[in-house]
Amino acid sequence: MLVFGFMELLYWVGKALGVYAAVMLIDAAMRREDAYRAADKQNKGMWLIFLGLATALLLLMPVDAFLPVLGLIAVIVYTVDVRPALRQVSGGGGPRRGGSSSDGPYGPYNGGR
């Protein structure tokens, strides 16, 4: 009984990692090609292939097999090395660029004072 519970937990962890790999694949697809060259991180096509294969392996195979572990390594390398370098080269990566939480569309909001 305990083994089946652990295997089910491992199944859902694998699916969650597959979804995270898909999010990183979308992130890599949205980055500009010249940012990869400027950050000296191979090229966009290579990372799209790696992350696409990683997503497929993590979603389709059991996570305790050997190939999904290789896909997970590719996702980790993209997350901790390539993505921060791309964000630094391209000047951030979110919709908010440098403002505070009280900034409105025309500048800071001071509460009508």
> pTM to 2 decimals?
0.76
- Is residue 108 assigned to a domain? no
Q: Is residue 50 domain-resident?
A: yes
Look at residue 66 and tell me if it is in a domain.
yes
Cα dihedral value 82, 44, 46, 86, nearest 10? 0
pLDDT at 97 over 80: no
Residue 108 has pLDDT above 80, yes or no: no
Per residue in 42-52, is it b (16+ CB within 10 Å) or e — as a string? eebeebeebbb
Judge whether residue 92 has pLDDT over 70: no
Q: How many domains does the chain have?
A: 1
For residue 73, the model assigns a pLDDT of: 96
Domain that holds residue 71: 2-90
pLDDT tens for 12-69 read 999 999 999 999 999 999 999 999 999 998 899 999 999 999 999 999 998 888 999 9
